[in-house]
Amino acid sequence: MPHDDAPDGRTDDQERFVAELVAEDAEVAGDIVELGTDTWAIHGHIPVDGDVILAEFGTFEQASTALDRLPPNERDDLGAP
């Protein structure tokens, strides 16, 4: 899991991973969940597994930045699967 002192490359990898999931029909919930100390997640829905954590970040700001970089039409709240 990336943390505040993690290299930027790990955060970039998480951002790319979320973008790849979206390209493969994952739906992003559009909110950020605190999982624990220094662990924030973007969650969403994928066809096979349902609701899942799509990516984890060390800070709220990193998760927020990743979410903001997604195309606007992919940030809608989850609807019924």
Specify the DSSP element, H or E, that contains 65: helix 60-68
Q: What percent of the chain has pLDDT over 70?
A: 75
| Model confidence pLDDT, tens digit, residues 51-66 | 989 899 999 999 999 8
- Determine if the pTM surpasses 0.85: no
| Measured distance CA(81)–CA(26) in Å, rounded | 11
| H-type alpha helices, 1-81 | 8-23, 60-68
Distance between CA atoms of residues 55 and 4, nearest Å: 15
* 3-state SS class at 19: helix
pLDDT at 81 over 90: no
Helix, strand or coil, per DSSP, at residue 54: strand
The tens digit of pLDDT for each residue in 26-47 reads 888 888 999 999 999 998 888 8
